[in-house]
Amino acid sequence: MNIRIPRRKFLLAAGGMAAGMVAVTISKAAAATEAEMKDAIGKVVGTSIVTKGKVTLDLPPLVDNGNAVPLSVRVDSPMTAADHVKAIYLFNEKNPLPNIVTFRLGPRAGRASVSTRIRLADTQTVVAICEMSDGSFWSGSVNVVVTVAACSEDR
């Protein structure tokens, strides 16, 4: 099949090589889109309304290297048996897949605060969706600028 490569994506791939990754060739699955991210979020929330708020997503505004970007997420919740966070879902719009990670927690966590490190293929928006014990959904998002490393490497 003949796949046309948009110039921007080609440059991304070239940038990836320059960053010393295994040479990356573009395939159809090379990048998720905003629509795919919305679909993935839809699978989690169904027909529920997602309200902005309660969720604080923390990523550095400017990233040294997209291979390991520190991510912290906090949710404003008392974390009691009656009122707590059940799950936190993280999504992105430009990696090959829209899903990043899902955390499942409960009152025994004490506080709703989780950190990890993620990969980001490009400058993009990262979205966190939080599912509460009462069935409500809340969200927070952040824009991240990713610069790519300069010198290439033979692996």
Binding region for another protein (CB under 8 A): 15, 18-25, 27, 29-30, 60, 62-65, 67-70, 92, 95-97, 99-106, 108-111, 113-120, 147-154
CB closer to another protein out of 24 and 132: 24
- By C-alpha distance, which of 118, 117, 116, 121 is closest to 96? 121
CB closer to another protein out of 18 and 50: 18
Least CB distance from residue 127 to another protein, whole Å?
13
- By C-alpha distance, which of 116, 115, 153 is closest to 20? 153
- The one-letter amino acid code at 100 reads I
CB closer to another protein out of 69 and 138: 69
Least CB distance from residue 95 to another protein, whole Å?
5
Token readout for 126 is 């990262």
CB atoms within 10 A of CB 141: 14
CB closer to another protein out of 22 and 49: 22
CB atoms within 10 A of CB 114: 18
How far is 95 from 132, CA to CA, in rounded Å? 27
Least CB distance from residue 75 to another protein, whole Å?
12
Least CB distance from residue 90 to another protein, whole Å?
8
- The one-letter amino acid code at 78 reads P
